Structure formats: C-alpha cells, structure tokens
Structure 1
C-alpha cells in the first residue's frame, strides 16, 4: 500500500555536525555503562549568572507565574529582557540609546530571521560567510535556499588560523554581490579573534558596497589575547555616513551567561525598518518563551561594574582550561595540531600529520560515539566531538579536523586528552 512520502528537502537532510555524535551515541546498546564527555556542542556545564539563577529558584514570586499561568509575551519580547541584552552591550562602554532589539527563541532563531531579512527565501543574491563557518548558518542557508559565498581561512602547523584577507573579502563582494557579510568576532568554530581594527575595516567595505554587516556576538567579550573586546557597536561613528543603518548583531543568553537551555536570543540593529519588519516576520512564531525571558531579564538590573566582573571571571576560567587541554593533547598525541585559542570556547584539532591518508573526521567521530570506550580507574569513557567537514563549504578541507568545545566539568576535561589519544590509536588500528 502506498504511503505519504516526505519532501525532497527532508530526504536530503542529515543531522548538523554539532549534533551528529550525540544522536549516534544515543543509539548505543551500552550507553548506560559508558560515561560520555560531550565536547561536540557548546552546551556549557556551568551555573548561570547568579542573578539568573536567583530568578529561576524563585519563579513563583513572579505575579504572572505564581498561579501556574505562563501567558504569551509580545512578539518583540519583554521590555526587561530587551533591556538586559542592551545592558550587556553597554557594559563595553557602548551607547545603546539608538539601537533596536527584539527577542527570539535562542540565537538560532535570530540567525534564521536575520537571513530572511537580508536575503529572503530562495534568494538569487548570496550571503557571505568566513570559511570555516558556524554550521548553523550553512544549515539555515539550505533550509531557506539562500546561496552562500565565502573566503577561506586555513590553520597552519602552529595552530594559528590565517588572518582575514581584507582585500580578498572586498574582491569577493564586488564579484558576487552578496546581500550581507556575516562575521563572528569571537569565532565559532576556529576560536579566532577579530579585533576592532579588523571590524572597522570590514565595516568600511560593507558601507562602500551598500550591504548589511551581521555580527554574531554570542561570545562577546570572550577574548584571551591582550586586546580590548570588539563589537560592531564599537565601530566609530565617523566612518558611518549619516542615516546609514547597516548593522545587525545576533545575541544569545547561552554562552557568556551559561544559560544554553533558556533558549533566549535577540536581534539588535541600528535599522528601524529592519527591526519592525523582523518583528512582523516573527509574529508567526508568536513570541519567545516567557519563563526564559523573565529569568534572563534579571541582567537588566546589574550594574556595568557587576557585568564587567562577570566577564573577567568567565575569561579567566576558559583561559585556564584552554592552556591545560592544549598542553595535554600535545603531550598525549605528539604531532597533533591544536588551534591557538584567541576567543570563544572552541578549538580545532587537526590530525593530518599523525593520521594516514584514509583518515576521515566523520568516521572517527562516529567511532567514538558508537563503539569507542576507554577504561580509566574502572570507568568506561568516550568523547563526543564535531567533525569539521560540516563547517566548511568544501567538506574535504575539514577531512582531518574536529572541533572541541570546552564545556564539560574540568575534572572530565583533565582526562580528555588521554581518552582522545587512546580512541585515535584504536581507530587508526582498525
């Protein structure tokens, strides 16, 4: 008997690279025996900011929720929640008085709405990314049928990603005429930092080319170099023509505030038209979740000094982790290339100099998730990683690379290099 068939779009869909290992592991017969260290996705395993945690612990004290009611909010989002994101930006000594913000269900929804706003579905004009790019932008471009162009970044043998070639970016824009350029100053997946000088140069190109500049600032201000935090909201006004509104930032509660599961994000822009139309588009989603908005709204009442103190605490924590994991991996696997972390919470491992020519990061990640196990003190462990093939437009470039997110407990991260080393050697012997 005939049965309904799914669309060709669904038939061709595969899990995102950052979820691939988790899905594979969930189907393991021995998943209840093997302890998993999930470094495939940036699911931060730390308590939320204290102000957020306090609100979560006292939800019933809110008048709306005290009787078990959870009503819709306005589509634009609660005023307090919007003020919270703007307060976080203003802590970097930025004037936010002329910025517009709407709240979304996580940064991912903000990305999709942004792409609809700058390109539109089935667009003939492309969007421009920096390759390798956060896989969700590539996934949404497929969902919305938006073409993608990119400039390449390569990791050298010292773990340093090549600096952006501003001239090449300008040439690509002239040739392909994208509707927008997306940058991630505190980069995911590379961990590269784009300082203010670079952002200013990129802004000049976008202004000259009359295109949108989109900055994903989910990891602002996680920078581990001796440089000031950067942001498109710190671009000097003297390089922006009067009444020229071209900036959009993607905001998130997830990483800096350790609140991944709140699923609260935002779209900030200096364009009133983009702001109003993005709200119109988002009315189909009704609104972002009310409870998450209320919890995150606590940041609206923190002082700049308190927010800066939190930023410093976060940066110090991740700097220590990166140093230990980098040293551990190079000790356990001599010859492996580990990207030098400049920002965000990720690093790239490249096995090209220690693996044979048949090595494939997809296969290695699947091996770790489906059958790999390492015994340490009578406990079985495996590690989940993200294959970098899903972050490059040309997947072959990422054939020997995986992304690692520093999101687990430090005690688990301390044994991660040993586990990856043993898993790699086991996989290589197959």
Structure 2
C-alpha cells in the first residue's frame, strides 16, 4: 500500500457530518429523521435570487476575475455602507467559494507551519480542519456552559500569546453556542491585538441574526484596528444560499489583500453563477431578513423552553446565530447520538444531533454536549424534542 500524508491522516472528521451514513440507514428503515445536526436552513431563498437563476442568459459560463465580479463587489460595498462602513470600496473585498475558502485563505496568508491562532472554544469544528491542513496550531481559550459561554478573563488571552501567535479568531455570533460578543469584550480583544501587533479575524456570517433587541458589533467599528482586522463573511446563512458557495473577505489592510489575491488567482476564480445569485439576493426587500430573524427567534424560544424542561439538560439561551450547545444527562453524547440513529425510534421518527466534542480541542470538555441547529419549523422542533426526551429516558434506563 502506498503511503499517505500525515496531514491527510490527521485531518479530523466533521462532527457535523460523520454520523450521516447512520441517518441514511434510519431513513431506509422508513423513519423520519429530524435534522438538528447541520446549519442548513429550511428558509426559502430570496425570490430575487431564484428569479435571476431561472433567467440567466449566457452563451459561455466563463471565468470571473479572481477577486470576484465588479458588480457583486460593488453590491457588497453598498451593503457594508448600509452597515455604517462608508470608507470601504469594492477593492476591500475578495470573493471566495464560501466563507470556508475565505478562512482558509486568511490562515494561509498569515501563518507558516507551526504558527499559532488563539480561538475561544467551543469553536466551529472546521477551524481545526483548516488549521490542520496547513500545519497551524489552534490555541484554545476555554469558555464554559455554566457561564453561557461568555469570554473568560481577558488575562487568559495575554497568557497564551507567544512569538508564534499570528491572530485571535472569533465567530460573532458564535457557531456552535450562539454567543454574542459585547462591544466591551471586542474592545478588550482590540487592545490585546494592538499591544501585540497581531490580527483579529472575525467570522461574522450570522450578523443579521441577533435576538432580544440586542445590537451586533463588528470589529470593523474599531478605527485603531484598521491594519489588524480581517472579516470573514458569507451569503450562506444570511440568505439561505448555502449551496451556491458564495463568501468573501473584507479588510482595510492592503498588504493582506495583495497576498490573498495570489491565493485567489491560484484557484482561478470564484463561482460565476454563485456570484450572480448572491448579487441578486441583496436586492430582496429588507423585510426578508426581518421576517427570517423573527422566525428564528421564535424557534429559539421554543427550543430552549422545551430542552430545559427535560430533567438533567442544561441549555443556555443563545443570543444570536441559530445554534445552541446543550449538555445532556449522559456520559458520552456521541454514543447517545449514534444510538438514537441506530437503535431508537419514537412515533416513527428519530433525531440526528451533532456531538459537541468536535468543537473542542480537548474533546473531554464536550463529551456530554451536543450542538443543535434550530433550522427546522416549530412543529418539527416540538416533535424532535419529544423524541430526544423519550430517547434519553430509554437510553439511561438501559445503563
């Protein structure tokens, strides 16, 4: 057998998708599987995006500029102007194939093999995959469920900075916890970044989905961070367009943009069709986002209420995004998730959950936890939690 790279062998499986084959088997048995495992919204994509796709009239589906189409980058400029960042031009944007490529480009631009990125955990599982693929070490700052996953004392960040530290990476609002960073917390992070002359990378793909009348604050708001800030953004969750793979980088750092463009050129171009669809989505009436936000907030309230009524379950109330991280009264959440798909059914259905271990660098910390995505309708949420409750009762009665 020929040899394989250590990089490939060490690449972690996606905790979000690793149980998918068992869900397929459950469906083959005739069960309805409620998918709380993956952030794939059931919300209809904007009609403007659907219409433009149906009416694309091109004789050649050609390459686009490596940095992205003029029209789309101009639309993004206008979108960011509406957020209050009127100094940005289209040249502050590089279009990528999803937010994932944006983050991969960012780490590749900033880090050499053995460099370090500080990341509050639990964190989006693919951060670890992106880092592993280029030999970057993730240094975690642990937040805990008993504090609602709020940031620990800022001294924890200072203690972890070394000559190898290249950036602090946050997701705001958070995937997998739904935690929303306050302006005061971001200010403290900004001070650390300036003091150590490193980058602050902020994944802000869920910025529209903040609840309870709270305000989202972008790291672009801090003028002192002009040269030290990189924002990762995407249309996937904003407009329920996961499959078109349209994301982008935003920064005021000209040197970073020049380097990132070289990586963009190496992969030739972002998706032509994806950019056409994404551009059209921004012309949807603002009521689209407002209505989706209201729907997610109602789903969140229902989900959290039902979960916290189950004995032994701990679920902090997320402030944004559409995820929550939940502690279950089990010793091994992954074993429970697998058992639910392989062995359990209730009223001809079962539930697919994501074990939270993969969102931690120290997987023992997430051993009793799962991540849920409230991207299914309220009726299905109610049935899903009923199934989880019955499943926990039976699972624990057998142990």
Please report the TM-score for the alignment, with normalisation by the length of structure 2: 0.93
1:130 counterpart SS class: strand
Name the counterpart of 1:366. 338
User: Structure 1 segments of 4 or more deviating over 4 A?
Assistant: 299-302
Residue 328 of structure 1 aligns with which residue?
Answer: 306
* Pick aligned residue for 1:340 from 278, 295, 317: 317
Aligned to 2:370, the other structure's residue is in SS state strand
Give 1:284 deviation, angstroms. Answer: 2.1
Name the structure 2 match of 1:136.
Answer: 126
Q: Deviations over 1:183-204 (max 9, x none)?
A: 1120111111002232222112
| CA deviation string 1:301-321 (max 9, x = no partner) | 56xxx44x4433222111100
Pair 53,4 (structure 1): closer, same or farther in 2 beyond 3 Å: same
CA distance in 2, matches of 1:337, 1:42: 21
- How many residues align structurally? 397
Aligned to 2:231: 249
Measured on the aligned residues, the alpha-carbon RMSD in Å equals 2.0
1:395 maps to 363
Query: Offset at 1:53?
Result: 2.2
For residues 99-248 of structure 1, the aligned pairs below 5 Å read 100-120=92-112, 122=113, 124-156=114-146, 160-173=148-161, 175=162, 177-235=164-222, 237=223, 239-240=224-225, 245-248=227-230
- Counterpart residue number, 1:293: 275
User: Scaled by the length of structure 1, what TM-score is found?
Assistant: 0.87
Determine the C-alpha separation between the residues in 1 that align with 2:339 and 2:269: 40
- Alpha-carbon shift at residue 415 of structure 1 (Å): 0.9
**Do 2:32 and 2:350's aligned partners in 1 also have CA atoms closer than 8 Å?**
yes
Separation in structure 2 between the aligned mates of residue 95 and residue 197 of structure 1, nearest angstrom: 23
In the alignment, which residue of structure 1 is the partner of 2:249?
267
Give the whole-Å Cα distance in 1 for the aligned partners of 2:108 and 2:55. 37
Tell me what 1:82 maps to. Answer: 73
Q: Structure 2: which 5+ runs fail to align?
A: none
CA spacing shift, 1:100–1:315, aligned 2, 3 Å = same
In 2, Cα distance between the equivalents of 1:270 and 1:319? 33
- Residues in 2 aligned to 1:31 and 1:91: alpha-carbon distance in whole angstroms: 48
Instruction: State the Cα distance separating 1:245 from its structure 2 match.
Output: 1.0
Give, in whole Å, the separation in 2 of the partners of 1:103 and 1:404: 29
* CA shift digits 1:200-233 (9 cap, x unpaired): 2211211111001100011013211433221112
Q: What is the DSSP-based 3-state SS (H/G/I as helix, E as strand, rest coil) of the residue aligned with 1:72?
A: coil
1:163 deviates by 3.6
Give the Cα separation in 1 of the matches to 2:333 and 2:94.
38
1:337–1:349 contact (8 Å) kept in structure 2: yes
Uncovered stretches (5+) of structure 1, i.e. residues with no partner: none
